[in-house]
Amino acid sequence: MAERPKIGVVFPQTEPVASDAVFARDFGQAAEELGFSHLLAYDHVLGAEHAGRDPTLRGPYTEDTPFREPFVLFAFLAGITSRIEFGTAVLVLPQRQTALVAKQAAEIDLLSGGRLRLAVGLGWNWVEYDSLNEEFGNRGARISEQVEVMRNLWTEPLVDFTGKYHRIDRASILPRPDRSIPIWFGGYTEPAFRRAARVGDGFVFSGDRAHVFDELSALRAWLEQAGRSTDGFGLEALLDHKSGLEAWSKDVEDYAEAGFTHLSLRTIKNGLTTPQAHLDAIAEFAGAVGLKP
């Protein structure tokens, strides 16, 4: 029998309840008490109006979509929990200063006792990039070098780095984390799979199961081409609460057989309008799949 994946939950970033500070506390603590292994958070710094844009903004979020800042959320939750792990899925890395992300991630990992997993991606919102004074067009080229720089800053006492996009002249961060924080990738394109296979520790798939298994085959082909084994390479898929009990059990079993190491439950876009409805939904799922506190 295949080993059961770790089962986590997605913080419902894009729902109106996400703006409630009490809900953020209650959701994080409830997830830990119910036996979820980890909590994921999506990321956007800015939302933008879509109308009248050239090029067109095609992503699903607008100026009306709430987003809590993941690192601040994790720092808050780290202080009121003791076991649950935290993960971004995904942090839009190229729109951020690399050394600052390394510093912030190190702090979260230290303050939480090593509970951070960082999944990164490119994003789609060019308005957000422009507003943060970062280049949208070369974001794919920059992200792999960003990963290299962060790992150097986490593990080396003094970093002297010269790359195409970064120059660090004999500098360091202190305190450093006690480990090199795991860096996963996310997305749904061949370049994303290729980058993950080359320099990542794992991959978060964001689509529905009809697409995930095809994407998994593509990722495994890139891992093989990179000379890497799937052993030790993390794989995560997302489950939708609205799918219902029978689908939950089958999904957990099927993803386990496919070699997935992590799964996370989404309560987003499920018609849940109150904080308690989201809390009841994750409790229902935890009981159905046999999570243990």
Residue 208 — very low, low, confident or very high, per pLDDT cuts 50/70/90? confident
- As a whole number, mean pLDDT of residues 206-213 equals 90
Beta strands in the chain (DSSP E): 6-10, 38-41, 85-92, 116-121, 159-162, 167-171, 183-187, 202-205, 234-240, 262-266
Residue 189: count of CB within 10 angstroms of its CB: 13
Residue 131's contacts (CB-CB under 8 Å, 6 or more residues apart) are 45, 46
- As a whole number, mean pLDDT of residues 220-228 equals 96
Domains along the sequence of the chain with CATH: 6-289 (3.20.20.30)
Residue 25: Cβ-neighbour burial (10 angstroms; 0-12, 13-18, 19+): middle
CA neighbor of 36 nearest in space, from 118, 107, 120, 115? 115
- As a whole number, mean pLDDT of residues 206-226 equals 94
The rounded percent of the chain whose pLDDT value lies above 70 is: 100
pLDDT exceeds 70 at position 1: no
Question: Tens digit of pLDDT for each residue in 98-110?
Answer: 999 999 999 999 9
pLDDT exceeds 90 at position 40: yes
pLDDT exceeds 80 at position 230: yes
Q: List Cα–Cα distances, 231 to 99, 114, 234, in angstroms.
A: 30, 22, 8
In the structure encoding, which two tokens stand for residue 107, read together?
A: 């702090």
Instruction: Report the alpha-carbon distance of residue 233 to residue 67 in Å, rounded.
Output: 29
Q: What is the DSSP string of 224-289?
A: HHTT--STT-EEEEEEEGGG-HHHHHHHHHHHHHTT--EEEEE-TTS---SHHHHHHHHHHHHHHH
Let me know: does 191 contact 140? Beta carbons within 8 Å.
yes
User: pTM of the predicted model, to two decimals?
Assistant: 0.96
Residue 47 — very low, low, confident or very high, per pLDDT cuts 50/70/90? very high
Instruction: Report the alpha-carbon distance of residue 30 to residue 36 in Å, rounded.
Output: 9
CA neighbor of 39 nearest in space, from 71, 87, 1? 87
- As a whole number, mean pLDDT of residues 184-204 equals 97
